[in-house]
Chains A and B, each alone.
Chain A
Amino acid sequence: MSFYFPVAMPHKLCDVYVAVPQELQMGETKLDLLQGTLDLMVLQTLAAMGSLHGYGIARRIEQISGDEVLLNQGTIYASLVRLQQRGWIAAEWGTSDNNRKAKFYSITKSGRKQLAEDAAHWARLAGVMGRVLAMQNEGGDQ
């Protein structure tokens, strides 16, 4: 086993790549996610897709966003644990389509309630931002 870094990291995945900013990789700028939006995206994805594993959720969000958001897929796990702690999603180990062991998440009843609230709030906020940003120059051409 070879070490690319001075610290010994326990996991075999760790010995090559650490965070490489995606901008550098992709050569284009992506949208940074606003605080709290990831949780809402995860909730909505689970509500729409039923039971999914972490990778599935991340993949789905990327697809829906048309690859426009900067999503380090790893950050989804913090979001998942947060949602679990609040009782909005539940998790259990299962097997994926191609027979891989994976942890599957699904939305709970209180999660659906929360989703409805958050979605309404988000829609309101987006509406306001849209109106403000669509403001025309009404004060003459000074």
Chain B
Amino acid sequence: MIAPLRRALSRLRSFFRKEPLDQELKDEMASHIELAMEENIRKGMPEEEARRNAMVRFGGVQQAKEQHRETRGLPWMDVLGQDLRFTFRTLAKDRGFTMIAIQILGLGIGANVAVSGFAGNLWGHLVFRHTADTGNRHSHGAGRNAVEGGTRRDWQNAGTGGDRDSGGRSAFVCAGQRHCFAALWDGAYRSAYVRGDGGAAGRCSSACRIPAGAPSLAHRSDECVADELTVGVSWSPTLSQTTRQDGAPGFVLQQY
């Protein structure tokens, strides 16, 4: 684990120190050739011959440099950089083409965004079908009778017509309405709190109320049976349906 990391770091460092490292390699190679020449001269070769022999034995200088660069740095980044520079140079050279290309791209992207935005909005207003079974892992038998249809607008209307929570915010209250499930599963409302005595089940002695976004709940989430559900924004609990002892539908908050 450490070794590859160390190599990667070393390569990264080298990538940003190209010039000094190139210079260093150049110096090193020059000293290599000189050392070889000196040895050749000591053996009795004339200077020109000694130099020639040293060069031949060294092999391709350019090739050695390339190899060195590839080994020490990030060759793919070098190639990428070259390609990008080439691209921008070419684009800058042919202004007319560049302008047209940018306009076409802009138009295409803009049109796509506009259409998908519109379609998304439309979709939200379309009738959706949602059974409690699909979104609710722990649904009790009552889930089967859950809401079969409705539109988001219905919830929104209901919301504006609903009462206000303690913070004075408009809240969507659906007392004993199964519709709330659909609204939640649909994601139309991202937060909810459950109100109700839940007395029928005998688990929530007082109002079971979850402030939006607050993870701490006085009651254990899986035991909170409520007959009234308020949904707001930015919180997404898991709910299931239950039937209260008096036969009216209630909600069980399972996860929050």
Question: Hey, which bits of chain A sit against chain B, CB under 8 A?
Answer: 9, 11, 13-14, 16-20, 22, 25, 53-56, 58-59, 72-75, 77-78, 81-82, 84-87, 96, 98, 100-103
Q: Is the CB of A19 within 8 A of B63?
A: yes
Closest beta carbon of chain A to B19's beta carbon, Å: 12
Contact partner, B61, options A14, A56, A86, A101, Cβ 8 Å? A14
* Assembled-state Cα–Cα distance A55/B31 (Å): 8
Q: Is the CB of A78 within 8 A of B71?
A: yes
* Assembled-state Cα–Cα distance A11/B52 (Å): 16
* Assembled-state Cα–Cα distance A11/B64 (Å): 13
Q: Is the CB of B64 within 8 A of A55?
A: no
* Assembled-state Cα–Cα distance A102/B27 (Å): 8
Q: Is the CB of A17 within 8 A of B56?
A: yes
Provide the residues of chain B in CB contact with A17, threshold 8 Å. Answer: 52, 55-56, 61
Q: Is the CB of A25 within 8 A of B72?
A: no
* Assembled-state Cα–Cα distance A14/B30 (Å): 11
Q: Is the CB of A85 within 8 A of B72?
A: yes
Q: Is B188 an interface residue (CB 8 A)?
A: no
Tally of contact residues, B, Cβ under 8 A: 36
Contact partner, B27, options A74, A85, A101, Cβ 8 Å? A101
* A and B contact pairs by CB, cutoff 8 A, 27 listed: A9-B62, A11-B30, A13-B55, A14-B61, A14-B62, A17-B52, A17-B56, A17-B61, A18-B60, A19-B63, A22-B57, A22-B59, A54-B32, A56-B35, A74-B29, A74-B59, A74-B60, A77-B68, A78-B71, A81-B68, A81-B71, A85-B72, A86-B3, A87-B3, A87-B6, A100-B34, A102-B35
